[in-house]
Amino acid sequence: MFKHSLKWRLAMSLLAVFIVLWSAVFSWLYIDLKQRLQDTLDQRLSASAQMVARLIQQLPLDSLGDATLSKLAKNDDANQLIACEVSLFSSDISLDNQVIAKTRGAPQNLSQRPEGFSTWQQGDTEWRSYVLRRGDIQVVAAERMFLRDTLLQQILQSVLVPLVFSLLICIALIIFIIRRQFRSLDQLSQYLNQKNLSYSEAADFLMQLKPASIPQEVQPFVNNSTQLIQKLNDSLQQEKAFSAYAAHELRSPLTAIKTHVQLAQLIGQQQNLPESIQHNLQQANESIRRYTLLLEQLLLLTQSENSLQEMTEAIWLRPTLEKVLADLGTRYPEMNKKIQVNWESLGEIQLPEFVLYTVLKNLLENALLHAQAEQIWISMHSGCLVIEDNGQQLTAEDIQHLGQRFWRKSAQQHGHGLGLALTANLLKQYGYQLSFNARRPYGGLSIEIKYGVSKRLCCTKI
């Protein structure tokens, strides 16, 4: 969802820019602050060494000697911030370098450090030292590096906490502002995303939208969509009106013709007309019945394509199937010998009764009339309704045409090629999918009607 959402893509882009920018600022701040802190602490070392050197220079050099060395403390003080050591260079002293004073906790061999700043390691402790030479006096000031690192961490924490806090506030504000600005589009999307929304309802909703609530960039799309949906709605309404008018105008003549043909049959039987005439009247009556069925299927197909149906409660399959078998039994007397039903396996299906009746009637009649099946088995397994027969085998090309309007395998076959098309459209209105597959090696056709994952109806015709 987030991948294709403009709102979340905008929010994530802004958040990514903020995080990258603030990370770069923090990195630059860390590097600059670390360098400035090092320079400041180095200046402190230099100032400490110069101060000690000035103090030592005010003392007489004759008083600095072994007596001073004997008073030096031997213990270390780990809490000493700056360690200092003073050495004396003089021609009166036999040694080249004599330590005359140093602070507690000072590292060994401070007097051996090179002049100026240097960083070095003694044991587990890293030191930073500054060596100053003035005349016969050498002053070495040293500092533990972990003290500098601790100070840098404390400063960064004091800077980072407000930085992170302000970043979180910015993120929350960005999400809040984007959601608020996209509220009108979200409402529009949620309303139009309803499954059972009709064209008229969608058009009315779009026409009632206030222009001020729609962003200027989206306004042309909304206007064009409103006009398109309105045109579609008008077209569907006109098609429904035409279908209703055509049904009325076509049903009346067919009913009148059927009445006259049946009346002619009765007169023919009473007057003992030749069998050829009675046969022709019977054929005419059958043709009228087929055209009446064609008209009903066309009207039902048109209504199913132009309407959106709500999902209904599940119904038991057995009563509807019994009704279908009873109705088909009057037209196909041998059907009861061909159909075998596993009544105990039949369960529930989530379809209206008239839709289930039409689906079962079309599938069974297709198996009896067009597939010319000798045996038909009906059962239900794991929520799957299975209809099997030993009808004719269809080729892969024939299977691709199944479900298309007015398609028949052969022109000599009876029917108009609307039964499976009507079945597919009716099932589609309720979330079902009709698919066809050849059954090999036994021959025949496999039809599956699926709905979702857990609830599905699979009809297999072999």
Q: Is 88 exposed, middle or buried (0-12, 13-18, 19+ CB in 10 A)?
A: buried
Contact 187, 210 (CB under 8 A): no
What SS3 state is found at 2?
Answer: coil
Of how many residues is the chain composed? 462
Q: Which of 45, 124, 112 is nearest to 78 (CA)?
A: 124
Per-residue CA distances from 94 to 65, 73, 101, 346 (Å): 11, 23, 18, 117
* Domain 6-71+79-167: assigned CATH number: 3.30.450
Residue 447's CB is within 10 A of a number of other CB atoms, namely 25
Cα–Cα distances in angstroms (integers) from residue 35 to residues 67, 339, 368, in the given order: 42, 93, 92
Q: Quick one: tokens of 316?
A: 């038991």
Question: How high is the pLDDT of residue 453?
Answer: 39
The tokens for 25 are 């600022």
Alpha helices (H) in 142-274, listed in sequence order: 145-181, 183-192, 199-207, 219-270
pTM for the model stands at: 0.47
Domain 315-450 has CATH 3.40.50.450: no
Q: Contact 457/451 with Cβ under 8 angstroms?
A: yes
Tokens encoding 449: 């009607």
**At 421, which helix (H) or strand (E)?**
helix 419-429
Among candidates 401, 412, 416, which has minimal Cα distance to 366?
Answer: 416
* DSSP designation for 368: I
Nearest to 342 by CA among 363, 366, 318, 315: 318
Contacting residues for 189 by C-beta, under 8 A, at least 6 apart: none
Same fold, 6-71+79-167 and 315-450: no
User: Is the Cα torsion angle 144, 148, 149, 150 positive or negative in sign?
Assistant: positive
| Single-letter residue type at 234 | D
Where in the chain are the domains?
A: 6-71+79-167, 195-308, 315-450
Please name the residue that has the structure tokens 């030749």.
Answer: 274
Model pLDDT, residue 93: 45
Supply the pLDDT for residue 292: 78
What is the distance between the alpha carbons of residues 331 and 207, in angstroms, rounded to a whole number?
53
pLDDT (tens, 9 = 90+) of the chain, 462 residues, equals: 455 677 788 888 888 888 888 888 888 888 888 888 888 888 888 888 888 888 777 776 555 554 444 444 444 444 556 778 887 775 454 445 677 777 776 777 777 788 888 887 887 888 888 888 887 788 888 888 888 888 888 888 888 888 888 888 988 888 888 888 888 777 777 777 776 666 667 777 777 777 777 777 777 877 787 788 778 778 877 877 777 777 777 777 888 888 888 888 888 888 877 888 888 888 888 788 777 777 776 676 666 655 555 556 788 888 999 988 888 888 888 888 888 888 888 888 888 888 888 888 888 888 787 667 777 878 888 777 777 777 777 777 777 767 666 665 654 455 556 777 777 777 777 777 777 777 666 666 777 777 653 344 444 343
Cβ atoms of 375 and 340 closer than 8 Å: yes
